[in-house]
Structure 1
Amino acid sequence: MTDTNILVLVGSLRSGSKNRQLAEVATDVAAEGVTVSVFEGIADLPFYNEDIDVEGSVPAAAVDFRAAANAADAFLLITPEHNGTIPAVLKNAIDWASRPFGQGALTGKPLAAIGSAYGQFGGVWAQDEVRKSTGIAGANVLTDVTLSIPGSVVRFAEIHPKDDAEVVEQLTAVVAAVAAAVTAVEPTAAA
């Protein structure tokens, strides 16, 4: 049996990002048989442009990203909230992963959107936008797998999320639910 591969995309480029720290925890809490990895190159993706998304012209960063996305069994998108919505860098990655339309790397794969934000609702608007965009792109959006951590700047001012037992427990449940969704959609062997 092969591992279930969950690819994490983080919607913040900031080195001290609380959402990046959540991604680090997610990689640590995966059960045996589940590999969780953070894709580090979304900042290198050029803005999606159909003129450059043609064979022979696709930028190397997009080729690498699509290869990682195609190899993934599922996705976990961890996002802050920028002006009440999804950060541009994450939306751009979704656009690259969604093409060609109907055949992109997201199509049919389980996907959950979680995150933290400074505000009192923990970035739920951005997470809703991620779910909307990725659902339109064809992902199997796990609407019942949620985690919104409000007041993250204060909550994690003196500790890393890995040292917050409640957050670790919640992230463990999120990763397990995403992995279980992969198993639930795998075709059964013919008798």
Structure 2
Amino acid sequence: MSVRILALVGSLRAGSHNRQLAEAAVKLAPEGTEVELYEGLAEIPFYNEDIDVEGSVPAAAAKLRAAAQSSDAFLLFSPEYNGTIPAVLKNAIDWLSRPYGAGAFGGKPVAVVGTAFGQYGGVWAQDEARKAVGIAGGKVLEDIKLSIPGSVTRFADTHPADDTEVAAQLTEVIARVHGHADETAAA
């Protein structure tokens, strides 16, 4: 079965190592798996129930929801900002959690990975993202983790796609997410 994985990146910086990691996922996706790197998280307004009204949802939020609805699984790339999840990623999760009980995550598999400058690779933020997406209705894949420490030095001269260890680990993550998507579709 062909599987479509929507990748959301919690950093807006053009040279973000998490964005590069997501670009690597797009490049490394095996045949039968499409990883789509979602563009446009910066344009989505902060979640506000007053503007989340059927028929007048902001276009940027509606576009995100449509992309999420047409995906089979999610791969979230989270850096760590002050020990927690970046606001842009949390905002995307909030928009995808609504309408209450019928959000776009809808029991679909979600894995959270990432890289950060610190020695733990952003695990606190990734744990917070898993918590938020689970509450938002996603099927969090707790057994799939990839936290790459020391991003500033590790990826100073090497794109994550060209780091053989990272490429192998990321390819394994994608294959496992694909497998979970297959299982979810068969259930």
* TM-score, length-scaled by structure 1: 0.96
- Residue equivalent to 2:102: 103
Q: After the TM superposition, which residues 1-191 of structure 1 pair with which residues of structure 2 at under 5 Å, given as runs? A: 1=1, 3-187=2-186
Cα displacement (A) at 1:32 = 0.9
Deviations 1:12-71 (A, max 9, x none): 000000000000000011111111011101111000000010122211101111000100
4+ long deviations beyond 3 Å: none
* Structure 1 gaps, min length 5: none
Structure 1 Cα separation of the partners of residues 73 and 184 of structure 2: 11
The Cα shift of 1:107 comes to 1.6
Residue type at the aligned position of 2:38 = F
TM-score scaled by length of structure 2? 0.98
Alpha-carbon distance in 2 for matches of 1:34, 1:156: 26
Tell me, which stretches of 5 or more residues in structure 2 are unaligned? Answer: none
User: Cα deviations across residues 87-129 of structure 1 (Å, max 9, x unaligned)?
Assistant: 0000000000010122101120000000000000000000000
Structure 1 Cα separation of the partners of residues 186 and 148 of structure 2:
35
Counterpart Cα distance in 2 of 1:46 and 1:15: 20
Q: Within 1, Cα distance between the matches of 2:24 and 2:55? A: 38
Secondary structure, aligned partner of 2:144: coil
Q: Percent identity over the alignment?
A: 64
Aligned pair count reads 187
